[in-house]
Amino acid sequence: MPHAEEPEDRMAWVEPEVRPGSLLVSSTDLTDPAFRRTVVYMIEHNDAGSLGVVVNRPSGTVVRNVLPQWAPLTTHTSALYIGGPVKRDSALCLGTARNGVDIDGVSGLRRVDGKVVMVDLDSDPAVIAPLVEGIRIFAGYSGWTIGQLDSELERDDWMVISSLPSDVMSPPHVDVWAGVLRRQPLPLSMLASHPIELERN
């Protein structure tokens, strides 16, 4: 007679594979200042390496000061976000497509996953505006060479979690790191209450 499945077996959290649209959520033990308590939205993950942007690091710079033509399309905040430590002098843009809009084949837009799209900042904002609910612009990005991310995952530096479109466009006052963890099953959801600074306890 086969072994009966225990209730906790059905509740066990299974880490998804890294793919475009995955979130990398930093572990509580990851103390690197560039990635401490960060959430990275993955844009590319293939044999050539991996690329994503940190979605919870607003900067003190406003978009209208660097890319004024795109400022009216930004969502929830006018801030430029710090996408990661690589090429901070370059900008990368993500947006969420409007419901019912087919963006396949549209010049200036490339689907990443679901409603989330990459926006070419050299394109015409007037053309893009009717197609997206909003955008977020990132200075720099987070990148990994072949095998580098796999090594960090084996070291448990990151938790791989499925994303929601709203994760990319969260307001700056929202704790995205804790919010993403809170919606996971146990035991991950318990990490959401992990203190920002252990020495404060």
Which CATH number covers residue 167? 3.40.1740.10
Query: Do residues 142 and 88 lie in contact, with contact meaning Cβ atoms separated by under 8 Å?
Result: no
Q: Would 172 be classed as within a structural domain? A: yes
| Domain membership of residue 21 as a residue range | 16-93+136-196
In the chain, which residues have pLDDT < 70? 1-15, 196-201
Q: Would 98 be classed as within a structural domain? A: no
Predicted local distance difference test score (pLDDT) of residue 44: 96
Query: Could you report the per-residue pLDDT of 8-59, keeping only the tens digit for each?
Result: 444 445 667 999 999 999 999 998 998 999 999 999 999 889 999 999 999 9
Within a 10 A sphere around the Cβ of 84, how many other Cβ atoms?
A: 23
Q: Would 36 be classed as within a structural domain? A: yes
Alpha carbon distance 196, 185 (integer Å): 21
Q: Would 186 be classed as within a structural domain? A: yes
Q: Are strands 132-144 and 86-97 parallel, antiparallel or unpaired?
A: antiparallel
Q: Would 24 be classed as within a structural domain? A: yes
Q: Would 79 be classed as within a structural domain? A: yes
Predicted local distance difference test score (pLDDT) of residue 1: 47
Alpha carbon distance 55, 163 (integer Å): 11
Query: Do residues 191 and 58 lie in contact, with contact meaning Cβ atoms separated by under 8 Å?
Result: no
* Structural domain total, the chain: 1
Q: What angle do CA 18, 38, 91 make, to 5 degrees?
A: 85
Q: Would 100 be classed as within a structural domain? A: no
